[in-house]
């Protein structure tokens, strides 16, 4: 252990940034804008469900904000991932590469397609997929046959990569896109956590063939529950709309569905909430970035632990702030979690890496030492936008 490291110093630093008179949760939603007005309008007019103007408006405004050509609002981020994989033609026994260090939804969506999650290591600098390690690994385990990437060991087709922008911090997209091109892999961005985060001045979720966002209650903005599919391919966007609205062929009265579709459309009442939240997004991000600066200042000189800072190529939304203990101090993680939660400062460890969960433990994977190391020493700390006020 580093001789100068002490969990009490960490607590003191947190208390300097955070209000002390109340319990502080990890991430709270804020409804200080037009939420009441827009939701009331849905109730007053009866347009609460699968039809209404707020869905179109929410999709339009999201497209405007992110720069994506087409946005389709859906019931949640997991459903968005499911449809993204379907649209890219991921089928039974296809392998899909994704980070071991992610939220369960990323891996579950692959399994919903009867495909096989294949776990990739993270890089310390971004907390997301390490493009260089991925490249070396694919060089070792795969071959390209008739323009298709094949896993030499399992014989399965490797179809796609899902890059997840961890806690809002973009992965290093340029080298990742290069790997995807060399190995004929489709790129999906799980941008669930990165609404308002930019990679080299371009919004995350506009680099891959398809991207997904989540508007769950703990995300940067919320619709209660909700999600979106983003793409720059207009045809793919139209297919996304079709598949998520029961694959019904538009007609004045006839019910004709041309394939198995899904009832994944975002209800109008949730979209109304989303429109109001989206108006406040720039101010949420400004406050979140201020909060991150305050944390950064408190932890900058501290021994044995560091505040995770956006990579130089990124402008992050700092959705969830993270402290990372030096390796030799990983043994203090649980003590820190215990002390902070007892004091009413809600903190959480990183997710359990996917390959350690019972249903995914036999899935193919590369060496995951960085993901495992990060998992053992990362702590998320309170990140609500109001804390940056
Ligand atoms: C929140 C989240 C999702 C989607 O979650 P939903 O609750 O289904 O909206 C997917 N991936 C990641 C990384 C997430 O954080």
The answer to whether 37 and 279 are in contact (CB under 8 A) is no
Calculate how far, in angstroms, residue 144's C-alpha sits from the geometric centre of ligand 1.
32
- Ligand 1 atom closest to Cα of 106? 11
Residue 319: which CATH number?
Answer: 3.90.1150.10
The answer to whether 226 and 274 are in contact (CB under 8 A) is yes
Half-sphere exposure of 368 (CA within 13 A, CB side): 25
> Ligand 1 atom 2: the closest Cα is on which residue?
192
Whole-Å CA distances, 255 to 50, 243, 248 = 16, 15, 7
- Ligand 1 atom closest to Cα of 79? 8
Query: Does the pLDDT of residue 1 top 60, yes or no?
Result: no
* DSSP H/E element including 314: strand 314-315
Q: Is 136 a domain residue?
A: yes
Name the domain count of the chain: 2
Q: Is 358 a domain residue?
A: no
Using DSSP, state whether 326 is helix, strand or coil.
coil
- Ligand 1 atom closest to Cα of 215? 9
Answer yes or no: do 219 and 315 share one domain.
no
* DSSP H/E element including 119: strand 116-120
Answer yes or no: do 155 and 213 share one domain.
yes
The answer to whether 194 and 173 are in contact (CB under 8 A) is no
Using DSSP, state whether 224 is helix, strand or coil.
coil
Calculate how far, in angstroms, residue 105's C-alpha sits from the geometric centre of ligand 1.
6
H runs (alpha helix) in the chain: 7-17, 35-45, 53-66, 77-87, 104-112, 131-141, 173-182, 234-244, 268-299, 333-342, 369-377
Calculate how far, in angstroms, residue 79's C-alpha sits from the geometric centre of ligand 1.
9
Return d(Cα 249, Cα 326) in angstroms, integer. Answer: 56
Of 26, 82, 103, 217, best ligand 1 pocket probe by most atoms within 8 Å of the beta carbon: 103
**DSSP tag of 365:** B
Return d(Cα 361, Cα 359) in angstroms, integer. Answer: 6
Domain range spanning residue 149? Answer: 35-279
- Rg of the chain in Å (alpha carbons): 21
Tokens of 260: 């198995």
Taking all residues of the chain, what is their mean pLDDT, rounded to a whole number?
A: 97
Residue 204: which CATH number?
Answer: 3.40.640.10
Answer yes or no: do 14 and 163 share one domain.
no
| 296-325 residue pLDDT tens | 999 998 999 999 999 999 999 999 999 999
Return d(Cα 65, Cα 96) in angstroms, integer. Answer: 29
> Ligand 1 atom 13: the closest Cα is on which residue?
103
| 164-196 residue pLDDT tens | 999 999 999 999 999 999 999 999 999 999 999
pLDDT given at position 4 = 83
- Ligand 1 atom closest to Cα of 226? 9
Q: Is 141 a domain residue?
A: yes
Whole-Å CA distances, 53 to 39, 46, 48, 287 = 12, 12, 10, 30
| 203-219 residue pLDDT tens | 999 999 999 999 999 99
φ/ψ (deg, to 5) at 258: -95, 0
| 266-301 residue pLDDT tens | 999 999 999 999 999 999 999 999 999 999 999 998
Calculate how far, in angstroms, residue 214's C-alpha sits from the geometric centre of ligand 1.
5
Query: Does the pLDDT of residue 2 top 70, yes or no?
Result: no
pLDDT given at position 50 = 83
Answer yes or no: do 23 and 164 share one domain.
no
Tokens of 144: 């390209």
- Angle between helices 333-342 and 7-17 in degrees, nearest 10: 40
Tokens of 136: 């070396």
- Ligand 1 atom closest to Cα of 164? 13
| 117-152 residue pLDDT tens | 999 999 999 999 999 999 999 999 999 999 999 999
Using a 6 Å CB cutoff, which residues line ligand 1? 76-78, 102-103, 105-106, 164, 190, 192-193, 214, 216, 227
pLDDT given at position 258 = 97
Return d(Cα 188, Cα 97) in angstroms, integer. Answer: 10
Calculate how far, in angstroms, residue 219's C-alpha sits from the geometric centre of ligand 1.
9
Return d(Cα 175, Cα 105) in angstroms, integer. Answer: 25
First-last CA distance in the chain: 36
Return d(Cα 240, Cα 250) in angstroms, integer. Answer: 15
**CA-based torsion, 147, 148, 149, 153: positive or negative:** negative
Tokens of 120: 């990739």
Answer yes or no: do 23 and 128 share one domain.
no
Looking at residues 99-104, what average pLDDT do you find?
98
Answer yes or no: do 275 and 301 share one domain.
no
Q: Is 114 a domain residue?
A: yes
The answer to whether 122 and 99 are in contact (CB under 8 A) is yes
Answer yes or no: do 193 and 84 share one domain.
yes
Of 259, 279, 299, the residue at which a domain comes to its end is: 279
Answer yes or no: do 18 and 121 share one domain.
no
């Amino acid at each position: 252990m580093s001789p100068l490291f002490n969990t009490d110093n960490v607590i003191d630093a947190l208390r300097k940034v955070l209000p002390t008179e109340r319990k502080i949760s990890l991430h709270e939603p804020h409804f200080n804008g037009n939420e009441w007005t827009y939701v009331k309008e849905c109730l007053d007019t009866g347009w609460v469900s699968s039809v209404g103007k707020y869905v179109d408006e929410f999709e339009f405004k999201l497209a405007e904000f992110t720069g994506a050509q087409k946005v389709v609002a859906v019931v949640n981020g997991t459903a968005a991932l499911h449809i993204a994989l379907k649209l890219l033609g991921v089928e039974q026994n296809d392998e899909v590469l994704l980070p071991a260090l992610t939220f369960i939804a990323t891996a579950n969506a692959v399994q919903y397609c009867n495909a096989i999650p294949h776990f990739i290591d993270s890089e310390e600098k971004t907390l997301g997929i390490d493009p260089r390690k991925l490249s070396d690994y694919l060089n070792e385990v795969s071959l390209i046959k008739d323009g298709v990437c094949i896993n030499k060991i399992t014989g399965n087709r490797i179809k796609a990569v899902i890059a997840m922008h961890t806690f809002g911090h973009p992965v290093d997209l340029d080298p990742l896109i290069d790997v995807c091109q060399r190995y004929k892999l489709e790129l999906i961005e799980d941008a669930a956590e990165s609404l308002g985060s930019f990679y080299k001045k371009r919004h995350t979720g506009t680099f891959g063939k398809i991207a997904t966002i989540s508007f769950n209650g703990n995300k940067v903005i919320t619709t209660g529950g909700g999600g979106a599919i983003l793409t720059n391919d207009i045809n793919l966007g139209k297919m996304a709309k079709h598949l998520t609205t029961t694959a019904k062929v538009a007609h004045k009265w006839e019910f004709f569905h041309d394939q198995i579709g899904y009832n994944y459309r975002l209800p109008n009442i949730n979209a109304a909430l989303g429109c109001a939240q989206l108006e406040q997004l720039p101010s949420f991000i400004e406050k979140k970035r201020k909060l991150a600066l305050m944390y950064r200042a408190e932890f900058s000189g501290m021994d044995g632990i560091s505040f995770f800072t956006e990579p130089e190529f990124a402008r992050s939304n700092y959705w969830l702030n993270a402290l990372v203990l030096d390796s030799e101090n990983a043994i203090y993680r649980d003590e820190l979690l215990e002390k902070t939660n007892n004091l009413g400062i809600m903190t959480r460890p990183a997710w359990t890496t996917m390959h350690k969960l019972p249903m995914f433990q036999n899935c193919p994977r590369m060496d995951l030492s960085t993901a495992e190391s990060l998992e053992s020493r990362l702590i998320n700390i309170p990140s609500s936008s109001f804390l940056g006020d």
